[in-house]
Structure 1
């Protein structure tokens, strides 16, 4: 077994068929087979795999480059207590303001005196894009609380971090700016199901030695159910089956490589 605690920055295939993984700590590792389970955007932008034409078929390359990913933003506030319980305030607020969704999270339901957590600005796509310019989390937090104050002044009056420490007790995250994801999850635009099919069935190249490159896609971005663990698990099993078969191993009857034949014919 080999566990490498470093991000992969590139994958290339040598003339002898082995793969070389370039790591962000400057090191390199070689392997016989590779499973790529990151997002399609990370495959293209961070790892540059699509610059190497001999790894994937053209339709798979296109799917990696064109598959849509959702942007999302979240901001969490650690509060001194679960004020919504003490003051009979709503546990969830939905608005048409910049804040959009506000969720009160109780991680210690058996302890009425425990800290609380409030998730605000649970936003997607355009609503997420609007607040990307608020790069300072303190400024963003106060701006969003002000928006909530216009809807529920009583709730907003309690919405400040523990010890008034915004630096430590406020966390903000934008998935579009996440260097390891570049988006929250795959969500097809109309007509992009053909891309999902190209990504999902890519692992079946292992069944044909003439087209088997030894690299296989997995993860929810390469499934039909982007953003859900089911798609990630299913594609992981698919890719593992591909590796076993490609290296000469024996698969159990009913395995995905042999048994999965149904595809939707988009031209019909």
Structure 2
């Protein structure tokens, strides 16, 4: 059976084939070589797009408001030797073939992520309404949990043609994908994930308890109740593309993928051997971009926080889309009013994580009374929601993600200090593991994040609401600029929030590559005849337009 990859379903284009083709992505006219292009944001989308633009012979000038890496943020614990907390993206599905191409290219290594009931986790504890269950696999849990898994599989098959659609995605059968997916867009765009669950025969006949437990502890990576208000299309894409399956962590921290791309010296058009993004940028990014405007000669000015203005023929913005209406003063005429509406209506979800470093992986110690590990990967309805354990080896300190929560659960701790968050998490876990003294093993200061409190993000990732498909369609297809009026050309947008798969790095990669094609076309370039790009296929395979 072919591997499942993030191929479509809205735009089934083989990005992994495009970026690995021996003929390369394309070329631009020689007289455009060396032309500066502004790239706003040094996250996955910005750095990968800049890397490919450099190879085309352009000169990417990268602006970053805070930390290099965006939401691929691997933060070291103070006083440690490379012990990190993954504050943003931390688990990466193997179906993300575009991202894994760059990860492998940079020589980074991965390991299976310790998700619930996975071999990497070793064991899992589910604590719900004060009742605790220990399991190593699904069959170790009470029948209720198997019934929930079966009910969800049946709901997907009955209401979303799931087996047939996933088979078409595996086969990369674009005709069949469109035939099955396009009717689902019209059917489910204006309906919620909870509507899909509650309205299915499989769950309706089971009763509320099954839906409640599904929301609290869910399937795959944990509970899904924070996504219940979202458009069902959002969840279907996650399931169809295997984004919640076979997930891996990047050893040593995921931000090293982007740091290595920054320093990498691939063969490039125009640029001499040894050229890197770092060398083209003088070894450091520009400061925060604060304004984008059209100037008198028709090109674009980008102004940084210190008032320095530079002129560019093209600008790529990869920041969260709502920062274009709050943090960056963007001239209104650069986007159509319908696109401004889509940018403003994009809704971002809250997310909070609390990490501590401990002296060793003590949770693996065997409790002599039970014969089980002292602690396990834990899913609960308590404040912590999800607790994950990371073993860095027997002679190294270890890391515990005490709490990973979204939406309302994330907002509960938003105003609290790191110490208070740890205190609340320890009290919650003490009710599940009364005989374990976690605090005795903690070393150094905790590391916490609330993405909605960061002025450079104002949220973790997009969560499309019912009725948002049209908005997503507008921002996703904006890289196709040939039909736009001249006044709206040259400013491109990318990032996972522009993609159909928010919260997943593959969406950032794919939209960054869309922008590379768009910028190449903007400079009069083209793709090789043997390796057409996303814009070449977009008129034929692009997302369905709802009336």
Q: TM-score, normalised by structure 2?
A: 0.45
Native 8 Å contact 1:82 1:116 kept in 2? yes
Aligned to 1:132: 414
SS at match of 1:148: helix
SS at match of 1:76: strand
- Alpha-carbon distance change, 17 to 211 in structure 1, aligned in 2, over 3 angstroms: closer
Aligned to 1:115: 397
Q: Say yes or no: does 1:89 pair with 2:368.
A: no
The structural deviation recorded for 1:210 is 4.3
Native 8 Å contact 2:356 2:400 kept in 1? yes
Whose relative contact order is higher, 1 or 2, with alpha carbons under 8 Å and at least 6 apart?
A: 2
Separation (CA, whole Å) in 2 of partners of 1:92 and 1:48 = 45
The structural deviation recorded for 1:249 is 1.9
Q: Say yes or no: does 1:251 pair with 2:532.
A: no
The structural deviation recorded for 1:209 is 5.6
SS at match of 2:333: coil
Q: Give the counterpart of 1:30 among 290, 299, 311.
A: 311
Aligned to 2:546: 266
The alignment yields a C-alpha RMSD, in angstroms, of 1.9
- How many residues align structurally? 256
Separation (CA, whole Å) in 1 of partners of 2:287 and 2:441 = 33
1:192-211 aligned at under 5 Å gives the runs 192-206=468-482, 208=484, 210=486
Aligned to 1:60: 339
Native 8 Å contact 2:494 2:508 kept in 1? yes
Q: Say yes or no: does 1:74 pair with 2:353.
A: yes
Q: Say yes or no: does 1:182 pair with 2:464.
A: no
Native 8 Å contact 1:77 1:161 kept in 2? no
SS at match of 1:65: helix
Aligned to 1:100: 385
Q: Say yes or no: does 1:228 pair with 2:504.
A: yes
The structural deviation recorded for 1:25 is 3.7
Which digits, 9 at most, give the CA deviation of each residue in 1:25-65, with x for residues without a partner?
Answer: 4422221100111111222221133xx22111122111110
Which digits, 9 at most, give the CA deviation of each residue in 1:238-257, with x for residues without a partner?
Answer: 11111111122233343222
Which digits, 9 at most, give the CA deviation of each residue in 1:89-110, with x for residues without a partner?
Answer: 233111111111111111x2xx
Native 8 Å contact 1:10 1:47 kept in 2? yes
Separation (CA, whole Å) in 1 of partners of 2:441 and 2:454 = 24
Native 8 Å contact 2:333 2:488 kept in 1? no
Q: TM-score, normalised by structure 1?
A: 0.88
Separation (CA, whole Å) in 2 of partners of 1:115 and 1:137 = 20
SS at match of 1:188: coil
The structural deviation recorded for 1:77 is 0.1
SS at match of 1:102: strand
Separation (CA, whole Å) in 2 of partners of 1:80 and 1:173 = 22
The structural deviation recorded for 1:161 is 6.0
Separation (CA, whole Å) in 2 of partners of 1:41 and 1:208 = 22
Native 8 Å contact 2:348 2:461 kept in 1? yes
Separation (CA, whole Å) in 2 of partners of 1:249 and 1:143 = 56
Which digits, 9 at most, give the CA deviation of each residue in 1:116-142, with x for residues without a partner?
Answer: 1000220001111111121x1112211
The structural deviation recorded for 1:160 is 5.3
Native 8 Å contact 1:207 1:245 kept in 2? no
Unaligned runs of 5+ in 2: 1-58, 62-280, 367-372
SS at match of 1:260: helix
Separation (CA, whole Å) in 2 of partners of 1:252 and 1:259 = 13
Separation (CA, whole Å) in 1 of partners of 2:287 and 2:486 = 33
